Amino acid sequence: MVRALFKQKPNRRNTLHRKTLENLNHKVTEYFSVRKSDRRTKRELQEEKRLLLEYALKKGIEEGLEVRYINGKGRGVFASKNFLRGEFVVEYSGELIDVNEASRREKVYEEDESTGCYMYYFKHNEQQYCVDATAESGKLGRLINHSRNGNLVTRTVLVDGKPRLALLARADIREGEELLYDYGDRSKEALEHHPWLAL
């Protein structure tokens, strides 16, 4: 009797239902492509950002910037378009030199009052570097003024094995805003010569 229950003939309705389901499944995959996720990992996103920064530095991109004269301050750089937080703005571009050469040049620059000093000291992989942007080059990164609460931050990017300085938007920047970053020098000597570094 138990055997008889399991050996029942499949009825026509169940067979049709199963065949209909098989056909539906077949048709669903035929007409609707399988959805694939385009989400990228954090590592992939970081690599994409690094490549974009490297590209901008290699190409010398300086878009959305304009130089204006500011009373009591001299030249400054202003945004002529909006920048989003984390977006590349400009490179602090100049000659990459070691600290010994930087010290020698600083002494030379100090002797000539008509020459400013546009030297950016930084550390990368435990090694001290300096970008000397003192020479007029037409590059705008060297003209960005100081503020302890600036809207730009510096990021070191390795390009062809050499460190370069990218200035990125610290927060969203609106068109017309002056671009500023913290020079970071708080030494007694620097503050004596340049009291505005405390601002």
14 found inside a domain: no
Tell me the mean pLDDT in the region 171-192: 78
Q: Evaluate if residue 87 carries a pLDDT over 50.
A: yes
- Per the DSSP assignment, residues forming a β-bridge with 155 are 166
What is the overall mean pLDDT for the chain?
Answer: 82
Domain that holds residue 93: 63-198
Least confident of 108-117, 146-155, 189-198: 189-198
- 7 falls within a domain: no
Provide mean pLDDT across the span 132-148: 92
Question: Is residue 90 in some structural domain?
Answer: yes
Contact 89, 168 (CB under 8 A): yes
Q: Which pLDDT band holds residue 73 (cuts at 50, 70, 90)?
A: confident
List, for residues 60-70, the tens digit of each pLDDT value.
Answer: 999 999 999 99
DSSP conformation letters of 38-61? ----HHHHHHHHHHHHHHHHHHT-
User: Is 37 a residue whose pLDDT tops 90?
Assistant: no
Read off the pLDDT band of 35 (50, 70, 90). Answer: low
Q: Tokens in use for 49?
A: 């950002």
Residue 23 lies in a domain: no
As for how many domains the chain has, the answer is: 1
Q: Is the pLDDT of residue 29 over 80?
A: no
Residues belonging to the chain: 199
Asked whether residue 10 is domain-assigned, the answer is: no
Q: Which of 8 and 165 is assigned the larger pLDDT?
A: 165
User: Does the pLDDT at position 93 exceed 60?
Assistant: yes
Is 47 within the bounds of a domain? Answer: no
Note the pLDDT of residue 17. Answer: 55
> Going by DSSP bridges, is the β-strand pair 180-181/127-132 parallel, antiparallel, or unpaired?
unpaired
For residue 84, what are the CA distances in angstroms to 27, 68, 111, 114? 45, 22, 41, 37
Give the pLDDT score at 23: 56
Q: What is the pLDDT of residue 21?
A: 52
pLDDT band at 180, cuts 50/70/90?
very high
Q: Tell me if 25 is assigned to some domain.
A: no
Position 91 pLDDT exceeds 80: yes
Distance of CA 3 to the CA centre of its chain: 73
| 100-138 per-position pLDDT tens digit | 999 999 999 888 877 777 999 999 999 999 999 999 999
Read off the CATH number of the domain in which 120 is found. Answer: 2.170.270.10
Instruction: Give domain status of residue 81, yes or no.
Output: yes
